[in-house]
Amino acid sequence: DVKVTQSSRYLVKRTGEKVFLECVQDMDHENMFWYRQDPGLGLRLIYFSYDVKMKEKGDIPEGYSVSREKKERFSLILESASTNQTSMYLCASSPPNWGSNNEQFFGPGTRLTVL
Amino acid sequence: TQLLEQSPQFLSIQEGENLTVYCNSSSVFSSLQWYRQEPGEGPVLLVTVVTGGEVKKLKRLTFQFGDARKDSSLHITAAQPGDTGLYLCAGPSSGTYKYIFGTGTRLKVLA
Give pLDDT tens digits for A50-75. Answer: 889 899 999 999 999 999 999 999 99
pLDDT of A39 reads 86
Query: What per-residue confidence (pLDDT) applies to B95?
Result: 75
User: At residue B104, does pLDDT exceed 90?
Assistant: yes
Buried b (16+ CB within 10 A) or exposed e, B62-79: bbbbbeebbbbbbbbeeb
8-state DSSP, B3: -
CA distance A14 to chain B (A): 23
| CB atoms B98 and A45 under 8 Å | yes
**H/E stretch holding A104:** none
Contact B48 A103 (CB under 8 A): yes
C-alpha–C-alpha distance, residues B110 and B13, integer Å? 6
Nearest CA in chain A to B103: A42
CA Rg value for chain A:
13
Record: contact A101-B50, CB cut-off 8 A: yes
CA-CA distance, A62 to A71, in Å (whole number)?
24
Out of A90, A98, A107, closest to residue B97 by CB: A98
pLDDT digits (tens, 9 = 90+) for A105-115: 999 999 999 99
Looking at residue A101, its pLDDT comes to 64
Question: How far apart are alpha carbons B29 and B50 in whole angstroms?
Answer: 9
* Contact (CB<8Å) B43/A41: no
| pLDDT given for residue B92 in this prediction | 86
Q: Percent of chain A scored above 70 by pLDDT?
A: 94
DSSP B64-87: EE-TTSSEEEEEESS--GGG-EEE
Number of Cβ atoms within 10 Å of the Cβ of A83: 9
Task: Assess contact for A110 and A9: CB atoms under 8 A.
Answer: yes
Write down the mean pLDDT value for chain A. 92
pLDDT (0 to 100) of residue B99: 86
Sign of CA dihedral B52, B2, A78, B105: negative
Q: Which of A43-47, A87-91, A92-96, B72-76 has the lowest mean pLDDT?
A: A92-96
So what's the pLDDT on residue B52?
Answer: 93
- Least CA distance to A5: which residue of chain B? B42
Residues B12-67: tens digit of each pLDDT: 999 999 999 999 999 999 899 999 999 889 999 999 999 999 999 999 999 999 99
Residue B76 corresponds to which amino acid? I
Is residue A100 scored above 70 in pLDDT?
A: no
Checking if the pLDDT of A36 tops 80, the result is yes
Whole-number pLDDT of residue A1: 67
C-beta atoms of B42 and A92 within 8 A: yes
